Amino acid sequence: MTQSSEAPSKVPPSDEPLGVSRHEGHRRGRSTAIRFFQSGCVLLATVIGCQALSASASSRSTVVAITHGDGGGASADFMSGFALGLDQVRACGVDPASVDWLSIAPGDDPSALLGQQVSVLVAPFSADLATYAQLASQRKLGVLLPYQRGDSIESLSELDPEGRLHPVVPPYQQDLNHLVDDLRDQGIQRVMVVADPTDRSADQAERFVSAFQAKGGIVESYEPSLVQMLNPGDTAALERLVNDVSWKGPQAMVVAAAHDSALAQQLDQAQASGRFGQSPEVLLRVWLLPHHRVQDLSARSWPQLILNQPAHGPGWTDFSSLYSRVRGEQPTLLAASGFDTARLMALSALTPPPISTEGTRDPLGWLAPDQESKPLCDAIGDRLSGKPVRLIGAASDLMQRPGQPPSGQATTRRIPSR
């Protein structure tokens, strides 16, 4: 079913700055009909309004957004930021873009639901890039990817040589790179990496290893793999790890496991008792976890390093202040993505789509990575004058180059030993 409104229905939970879902891009099942999630519409209506159209209707707007209908928490975060983006558009004296929101099952083909007038498409979170790259090329669409942070982003240049897919947020790898840079800046040369294979953050351990080695760091291990996968119940493996740490004497232990998990508790006990071969306060603990999973992390008898904020754009500080003032809480990267998506939608709808060098329409061709970034009202003025634009982004720098994700700046926090 189609929804005509100014905010999305439910979308999958994807706010995992380090813990990439193991199933990103894997689409399960098919459905014969598009599903309309009434609860999502009610939630939207309380904020900015929602209107349901006929189940057989195709899109009527030039801007269409696709959602997958599950993940209420992610939807709420994204929607809150989206609503603030709409408010900023109105404050600049412009009506927000008219958007049709289509909720489909993962794996369903949205092409039959798109009217010929559609020029800009907003893909679901963790979208199947092959599907949307093909759709963009065939229909000459501009596609926004509001939350595409995982491994699939590496295929962007291959799948989208025309540069029609535009990620809004930086990839997870930039979070990892910042952790690595911080460690190297602190003089940390040698680390050991431990991962709980049942924790989703374990997916990023190998990437951390590669990034750390690329910066001249050494990853110690007596195991065949540099990432030592350790099941909490495997006492023999834990004993081998304790002996390895004691013998190798790394400067930091990088842990991809929940800080309150059984594995973390076992590591805590070993470190507190001095079984790692050095005083507890000497060995730095680095948590390979997204920021929202370490917000309540308490001090231990040794220093800890955590990701404080995922990579975000230069407009994050102003957006964070606005969001906190209006919503009474700190924003997530999902909220920033919603904020930027709403504003990019508005800019795309101001004038007819530009024409590419090949003579076809390029609806997001006005995005100019080499331009000086500008606040929304100035960007609107430039768009109405037919000029290329780069918006000051909250979720990223919105520097949209073909086949490349945008960049951002992550922050880390060191928790001193108690």
CATH of the domain at 286: 3.40.50.2300
Mean pLDDT, consecutive 10-residue stretches, the chain (418 aa), reads: 41 36 35 31 41 46 82 78 97 93 87 89 93 94 94 92 95 96 97 96 94 97 91 91 95 96 95 94 96 91 96 98 96 96 96 85 92 96 94 96 94 95
249 and 395 housed in the same domain? no
Answer yes or no: is 60 within a domain.
yes
Give the chain's domain count.
Answer: 2
Query: What local confidence, expressed as pLDDT, does residue 322 receive?
Result: 97
Do residues 89 and 376 touch, judged by C-beta distance below 8 A?
Answer: yes
Rounded distance between C-alpha atoms, residue 64 and residue 153, angstroms:
22
188 and 290 housed in the same domain? yes
141 and 198 housed in the same domain? no
160 and 179 housed in the same domain? no
Rounded distance between C-alpha atoms, residue 53 and residue 39, angstroms:
15
Look at residues 254, 285, 309 and tell me which one is the last residue of a structural domain.
309
301 and 349 housed in the same domain? no
Answer yes or no: is 319 within a domain.
yes
- CA 183 centroid distance within chain: 23
Answer yes or no: is 415 within a domain.
no
Nearest to 124 by CA among 137, 135, 139, 140: 135
> Is 304 in a helix, a strand, or coil?
strand
245 and 367 housed in the same domain? no
Answer yes or no: is 414 within a domain.
no
Query: What local confidence, expressed as pLDDT, does residue 58 receive?
Result: 59
74 and 137 housed in the same domain? yes
> Is 25 in a helix, a strand, or coil?
coil
Query: What local confidence, expressed as pLDDT, does residue 365 receive?
Result: 93
Rounded distance between C-alpha atoms, residue 24 and residue 289, angstroms:
18
Query: What local confidence, expressed as pLDDT, does residue 236 receive?
Result: 93
What is the span of the domain harbouring residue 18?
2-170+313-409
Nearest to 355 by CA among 346, 368, 364: 364
Query: What local confidence, expressed as pLDDT, does residue 248 receive?
Result: 94
Residue 222 CB partners (closer than 8 Å, separation 6+)? 240, 244, 247, 248
Residue 148 CB neighbours (<10 A): 27
Identify the burial level of 22 via C-beta atoms within 10 angstroms of its C-beta, where 0-12 means exposed, 13-18 middle and 19 or more buried: exposed
51 and 189 housed in the same domain? no
Look at residues 309, 336, 371 and tell me which one is the last residue of a structural domain.
309
Residue 8 CB neighbours (<10 A): 28
Answer yes or no: is 272 within a domain.
yes
45 and 158 housed in the same domain? yes
266 and 346 housed in the same domain? no
Query: What local confidence, expressed as pLDDT, does residue 73 receive?
Result: 65
Nearest to 65 by CA among 368, 379, 337: 337
373 and 293 housed in the same domain? no
Q: How far is CA 348 from CA 32, 93, 413, in A?
A: 32, 16, 38
> Is 240 in a helix, a strand, or coil?
helix
Answer yes or no: is 111 within a domain.
yes
Answer yes or no: is 418 within a domain.
no
Interior/surface letters 312-347, b for 16+ CB within 10 angstroms, e for the rest: bbebbeebbebbeeeeeeebbbbbbbbbbbbbbbbb
Look at residues 246, 281, 309 and tell me which one is the last residue of a structural domain.
309
Answer yes or no: is 416 within a domain.
no
Total residues found in the chain within this entry: 418
285 and 334 housed in the same domain? no
- The answer to whether the Cα torsion of 152, 154, 158, 159 is positive or negative is positive
